[in-house]
Structure 1
């Protein structure tokens, strides 16, 4: 099984991918919890999705199993749809309120 692992994966230990993905995901979580700008929050959510994609791709290549890369493809398709819908909502909120501050969105309540 060792012979089927690509050369890049053999030279970079799996732990490096895990640490990198953990750092990306942590930055995304901190950004979602601390920022008030809707666009920044949206980018942090995409950063967390990319961290999951990095892990799935690394594990898939490490195990020489293409199933993880198939999941990455579907996650990217869902993320593209999320971007289209999310940015449309953000643009409409900006048109109505002239801001993307999520704290001011409490005006949307009944």
Structure 2
């Protein structure tokens, strides 16, 4: 199971990311933020040492988000102060992840 946490550079997203890292191994985690340069270097170092995948996912770039979310099974969608987030991007991700061997939808979203 691969979990995606968006907004990992923010206060709430950072806490969700830290809590997830306490519960599952880093190789099962993908942390995203809209601009990788906003992440504190010491945080990136710790995450990478624990096996976390860190990717850029800008809410204004639909194609980037869809590509970034590939390989994830669950999204913890932490949307901070950005107003009018394109939720159709998440819908596209669910549709993209609908089919497994049995044709069931394993994609799940938790919005924070």
Q: TM-score, normalised by structure 1?
A: 0.31
- TM-score of the aligned structures, taking structure 2 as reference length: 0.31
Flag the structure with larger Rg: 1
Bigger strand fraction: 2
Larger helix share, 1 or 2: 1
